[in-house]
Structure 1
Amino acid sequence: MDLEALIRALAPSEVTGVRPVAIGDLAYDTRNVPKGALFFCVRGERVDGHDLAWEAIERGAAALVVERVLDVNIPQLVVEDVRAAMAVAADTFFGEPTRKLEIAAVTGTNGKTTTAFLLHSMLEAAGRRPGLVGTVRWIVGGEERRAPFTTPEAIELQRLFREMVDSGDRSAVIEASSHGSAFRRLDRVRLDAAVFTNLSQDHLDLHGTM
């Protein structure tokens, strides 16, 4: 995808060093930066991705999405919130896959996994060819995968949806964790149904109050 298409989607407040650039993938982790990737400098709890920009460039990043301009020699797209921008870019880059899937999200402190599996079974019985993104496993195109975490970052999540569409899935059930929502991973996921199971003190560390 041409960088210009992503610039139009993100509408950054500032763009530096723009030149014709073909973006071959998206990345936010310097341990996995494909050559030609658009790299998102995400500010984490312990590490600020802006401090790792040069490492990402050395590994093959073709452009950066940042919240402040850095002293680097590749194009930079300056945005207010890199995580929010990452969700928009992922949706755009992977062709807005959730427009082609019926999606149900399950959130709450307890019962997400059980409810997600029940919904997946019902959709399967109804012939809706469902995918699954959950704590125990992911299912894409009828094939099970190990689930490294409940709600993936927006890039992985939209990539999964794209794979579901390409493999013939017609629907999907996702476990939507509180952290996944708070960290903007679910932005641009177009939901057809949402399930709220319950809320208990387990998530007071994130939400602050009931």
Structure 2
Amino acid sequence: SRVALPQVVRASQQCASRTLYQASSISVDAATCSTSMAHGVVVPHGGASMRGARARCHAAQSDVYDAQAKVGVVIVDHGSRKKDSNDMLVHFGLLYQQVTGAHNVHIAHMELTEPTIAQAIGKCVAGGATTVVIAPYFLSRGRHIQEDIPKLVAEAQPSHPGVRCIIAEPIGIDSLMAQIIHNRVESALAKERVGAN
């Protein structure tokens, strides 16, 4: 039977991003700051005082998330019976927190193991969230994205009246993904060359 999806909103990555990072009078100028994936910090482009500028960027980013403390993020993948596979999502969740500065972030598995989506939503709410963004760690809009995850979110929501759940789009086609695949191709070729010598 079909489950009604009250208050469950599918949002594009752009809309979810606006929900998460805006709605605050404080913003970080994209022309002044850039995110360093290597160190998980906001790094300013030049300037007389690099340390001071970095501190100001960190402070601004922190203020944005303090203002958005009522927003929780659940990063959900399929789930596996293999611990190593599930541990990858744990590490990604920590990386997401490090890079973005978000605090109320929890991981979930759609099936096969815990934490479940319902458990992760509960943790976000316990952390003060009144809006929870469920971010699928999936590439495409298959059945899990269109049916299974919305159903699980809808089943969990009655336990948290007044809490709004937003389902973000999956990773999809993105130039960042193209670069990652290119890096993997280059790495494979480099290993092949080393093995041939």
TM-score of the aligned structures, taking structure 1 as reference length: 0.28
TM-score of the aligned structures, taking structure 2 as reference length: 0.29
Higher helix proportion: 2
Rg (Cα) greater in structure: 2
The structure whose RCO (Cα within 8 Å, separation 6+) is larger is 2
